[in-house]
Structure 1
Amino acid sequence: MSAADELLDIVDEHDRVIGRSPRGEAYARGLRHRAAFVQARDARGRVFVHRRTPTKLVFPSLHDMFVGGVVGAGESYDDAALREAEEELGVSGLPRPTFLFKFLYDDGAGRTWWSAVYEVRCDLPVSPQVEEVAWHDFLTDGEIERRLGEWEWVPDGLAAYARLTAYRRETAG
């Protein structure tokens, strides 16, 4: 089965399931679905950053500071976060990612999904999927901040990053 054929739950503005659709159709028709975003940090606290492959259905060849992806039909956000993190990082035995918050991403141009944001520590050596990841490295928060204006980033990841930065400020103080 291709990625475009993967079945997704279609959800309403309150994240209630209202139907199912193949991923390719959901993207083509702008149907709201679910996604998991996982910020993976190594033992030194650096964030896993990667550039997506040019074959990705959404946001090909752009940089991202999250691993993750769509939540399959009938799958929980938590299960999707772990599955996607292990797949993209190329590891097994990763601790279950910690849920932080959820928000509705909507770019106003037909791309909309409920986005659950997680964090996980990955002390394992990574071997990212070549089908998903064209380049990767672990970067410090400062390095990411410097590259925000230099690199082209996935817009949903930037939205999640902005919310995560605000969330961390709120919970720290």
Structure 2
Amino acid sequence: MYSFMGGGLFCAWVGTILLVVATATDHWMQYRLSGSFAHQGLWRYCLGSKCYLQTESIAYWNATRAFMILSALCATSGVVAGILAFSRQPTSTRLSRPFSAGIMFFTSSLFVLLALAIYTGVTVSFLGRRFGDWRFSWSYILGWVALLLTFFAGIFYMCAYRVHEGRRPSTPR
């Protein structure tokens, strides 16, 4: 049980850090504009070496931002629940800590998947036509890696829950 939780906690820590970095950085997309390179994130866009806040309230940016923030919050609470899962708990609790941590990581994975799907769909269909020479950049890729890590953290914690349930003495009803 503890080896599954240890693997889950490692994936969770790295995934949460990557979620925060991906959300905060300005390299979701790179493109060429008027002969110079530019890049943009969820909060700012940069032309050359000068960066500007994105002041427009465009729905897909707001949705992507909201889902990324929710994902980071769920992953953080999953890390806390995952750390607490290492402590001894009475066997009569209704909801086990590894199960709770696993659910939080699966929820985080769902939120980051929604954020990346929204951003990908709008970028490919709208911004891809607007800018000729463009590509997704490293912040966007970190989001996909964080998705995988939080999903695997959820799997590890669900496996730990199953192992823990197998050891629990059965009580007659």
In which range does the TM-score fall when normalised by the shorter chain? Answer: under 0.3
Find the structure with the greater CA-based Rg: 2
Greater relative contact order (Cα 8 A, min sep 6): structure 1 or 2? 2
TM-score normalised by length of structure 1: 0.20
**Structure with greater proportional strand content:** 1
TM-score normalised by length of structure 2: 0.20
